[in-house]
């Protein structure tokens, strides 16, 4: 890969990553403050949103011609920063260490099952929308 291409790749990922990180901070903070709970609802909500969006956009990118740069911006940068596995694992461990074992286990089960379900829902949604406009 030539230097100009590398600069472009790094740039689109960096811009997408910055946007995704800011959106995560704002969205998860808003949700967490809206719900009075020890459970990490904000992180859970942002991961559900990200899983749904990646399902929608991945399915659409399989159907339509999308540039490699846009895919890098969207999937690696924006959605990669929007969703947050590291925060999810830290919050789960903190629940466990705080003696909230049932909440920690609930977070593991809910996050993994629900995110897979909304990912599939995103794929189905995009296919319905695509077929509607054909």
pLDDT digits (tens, 9 = 90+) for 41-91: 999 999 999 999 999 999 999 999 999 999 999 999 999 999 989 899 999
Going by C-alpha positions, the residue among 126, 119, 116, 121 that lies closest to residue 60 is: 126
pLDDT digits (tens, 9 = 90+) for 94-121: 999 999 999 999 999 999 999 999 999 9
Please, which residues have CB within 8 angstroms of residue 11's CB and are 6 or more apart in sequence? none
The reported pLDDT for the residue numbered 134 is 87
The reported pLDDT for the residue numbered 72 is 97
pTM beyond cutoff 0.85: yes
* C-alpha dist (Å) from residue 10 to 5, 70, 72, 120, 122: 9, 12, 9, 30, 28
Average pLDDT, the chain: 96
């Amino acid at each position: 890969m030539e230097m100009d291409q590398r600069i472009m790749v790094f740039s689109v990922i960096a811009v997408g990553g910055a946007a995704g990180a800011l959106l995560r901070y704002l969205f998860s903070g808003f949700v967490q403050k809206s719900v009075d709970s020890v459970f990490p609802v904000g992180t859970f909500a942002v991961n559900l949103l990200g899983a749904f969006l990646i399902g929608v956009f991945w399915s659409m990118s399989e159907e339509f011609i999308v540039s490699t740069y846009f895919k890098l911006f969207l999937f690696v940068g924006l959605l990669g920063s929007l969703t947050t596995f590291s925060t999810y694992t830290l919050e789960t461990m903190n629940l466990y260490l705080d003696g909230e074992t049932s909440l920690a286990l609930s977070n593991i089960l809910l996050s993994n099952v629900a995110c897979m379900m909304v990912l599939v829902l995103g794929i189905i949604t995009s296919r319905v929308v695509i077929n509607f406009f054909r």
